[in-house]
Structure 1
Amino acid sequence: MALAFCGDEGNSTAYNVDHGVLNNGCFVDALNVVPHVFLLFITFPILFIGWGSQSSKVHIHHSTWLHFPGHNLRWILTFILLFVLVCEIAEGIVSDGVSESRHLHLYMPAGMAFLAAITSVVYYHNIETSNFPKLLIALLFYWTLAFITKTIKFVKFCDNDVGFSQLRFCLTGLLVILYGMLLAVEINVIRVRRYVFFKSPKEVKPPEDLQDLGVRFLQPFVNLLSKGTYWWMNTFIKTAHKKPIDLKTIGKLPIAMRALTNYIHLNEAFEAQKNKRSSLPQGSGSIWRALCCAFGRPLLLSSTFRILADLLGFAGPLCISGIVHNCIFETLGFSFPKMRDI
Structure 2
Amino acid sequence: MLITRSSTMAQENIGWHWLCGVNSTDLDDSGSFVLDRVSDNTCFIDLLDVLPHLWFILTAASVLLALTCFVRFKHSWRSDYILRFPGHILRWLISIFLLICLFASLAEGILTDETFIQSLGGRQPHLYIPPITALVACIISLVYYHHMEVWQAGGMAFVSLLYYATAALGEIGKLIHLHDAKQSSVKIARFDLSILQLVCYSLLFLLDINVIRCKVFRSNPNPSSEIVDDLTSSEPLFRAYYVNLASQVSFWWLNWIFFLGYKRPLDVPDLGKLPESLNAETLHHQFKEEYEKEKVQAASKGHQPSLGKVIVRIYFVRMALAGILKLLGDFAGLVGPVCVSGIVLYVADFYYQTERNEEASISSKENSFLGPL
Q: CA deviation at 1:148?
A: 0.6
Contact 1:92 1:107 (C-alpha < 8 Å) held by counterparts: yes
Cα distance, 1:111–1:315 mapped onto 2, change above 3 Å = closer
Q: CA deviation at 1:10?
A: 8.3
- Give the AA of the match of 2:110: I
The within-5 A match list for 1:230-249 is 230-249=251-270
The within-5 A match list for 1:210-221 is 210-221=231-242
- For 1:172, which of 176, 194, 198 is the aligned residue? 194
Once the two structures are superposed, residues 271-313 of structure 1 have per-residue CA deviations (whole angstroms, 9 ceiling, x without a partner) of 3334444445574x3433333323332244445656777x689
Mapped to 1, the partners of 2:25 and 2:40 lie a distance apart of 18
Q: CA deviation at 1:56?
A: 5.4
Mapped to 2, the partners of 1:8 and 1:210 lie a distance apart of 61
Contact 2:78 2:150 (C-alpha < 8 Å) held by counterparts: no
Q: CA deviation at 1:91?
A: 1.6
Once the two structures are superposed, residues 210-263 of structure 1 have per-residue CA deviations (whole angstroms, 9 ceiling, x without a partner) of 222312111122111111211111111011011001011111111111111111
Percent identical: 28
Cα distance, 1:118–1:307 mapped onto 2, change above 3 Å = closer
Cα distance, 1:241–1:52 mapped onto 2, change above 3 Å = farther
Mapped to 2, the partners of 1:8 and 1:313 lie a distance apart of 39
Cα distance, 1:303–1:43 mapped onto 2, change above 3 Å = closer
- For 2:62, which of 27, 33, 45 is the aligned residue? 45
- Give the AA of the match of 1:224: L
Gap runs ≥5 in structure 1 = 327-342
Mapped to 1, the partners of 2:27 and 2:256 lie a distance apart of 58
| Residue in 2 that maps onto 1:227 | 248
| Residue in 2 that maps onto 1:253 | 274
Q: CA deviation at 1:46?
A: 2.5
- Give the AA of the match of 1:37: L
Contact 1:17 1:23 (C-alpha < 8 Å) held by counterparts: no
| Residue in 2 that maps onto 1:296 | 316
Mapped to 2, the partners of 1:304 and 1:76 lie a distance apart of 12
Is 1:7 matched up with 2:36? no
- Give the AA of the match of 2:196: L
Mapped to 2, the partners of 1:158 and 1:182 lie a distance apart of 25
The count of aligned residue pairs is 314
| Residue in 2 that maps onto 1:83 | 100
Contact 2:157 2:211 (C-alpha < 8 Å) held by counterparts: no
- Give the AA of the match of 2:227: P
Q: CA deviation at 1:176?
A: 1.3
Q: CA deviation at 1:11?
A: 7.0
| Residue in 1 that maps onto 2:86 | 69
Higher relative contact order (CA 8 A, sep 6+): 1
TM-score, with length taken from structure 1:
0.80
Mapped to 2, the partners of 1:107 and 1:288 lie a distance apart of 52
The within-5 A match list for 1:303-318 is none
Cα distance, 1:52–1:188 mapped onto 2, change above 3 Å = farther
Q: CA deviation at 1:190?
A: 2.8
Higher radius of gyration, 1 or 2: 2
Cα distance, 1:201–1:180 mapped onto 2, change above 3 Å = farther
TM-score, with length taken from structure 2:
0.74
Mapped to 2, the partners of 1:313 and 1:146 lie a distance apart of 28
Mapped to 1, the partners of 2:173 and 2:332 lie a distance apart of 43
- For 2:208, which of 157, 166, 186 is the aligned residue? 186
Contact 1:65 1:129 (C-alpha < 8 Å) held by counterparts: yes
Q: CA deviation at 1:135?
A: 0.6
Q: Is the helix fraction higher in 1 or 2? A: 2
- Give the AA of the match of 1:265: Q
Mapped to 1, the partners of 2:99 and 2:109 lie a distance apart of 15
| Residue in 2 that maps onto 1:337 | none
Mapped to 2, the partners of 1:90 and 1:306 lie a distance apart of 26
Contact 1:52 1:129 (C-alpha < 8 Å) held by counterparts: no
Instruction: Say which SS state the counterpart of residue 5 (structure 1) adopts.
Output: helix
Q: CA deviation at 1:49?
A: 4.0
Cα distance, 1:42–1:60 mapped onto 2, change above 3 Å = closer
Contact 2:238 2:274 (C-alpha < 8 Å) held by counterparts: yes
Mapped to 2, the partners of 1:313 and 1:171 lie a distance apart of 19
Mapped to 2, the partners of 1:12 and 1:72 lie a distance apart of 42
Contact 1:66 1:129 (C-alpha < 8 Å) held by counterparts: yes
Relative to structure 2, which stretch is displaced further, 71-80 or 118-127?
71-80
Mapped to 2, the partners of 1:155 and 1:11 lie a distance apart of 19
Cα distance, 1:120–1:312 mapped onto 2, change above 3 Å = closer
| Residue in 1 that maps onto 2:144 | 123
Contact 2:85 2:211 (C-alpha < 8 Å) held by counterparts: yes
Cα distance, 1:226–1:113 mapped onto 2, change above 3 Å = same
Contact 1:28 1:153 (C-alpha < 8 Å) held by counterparts: yes
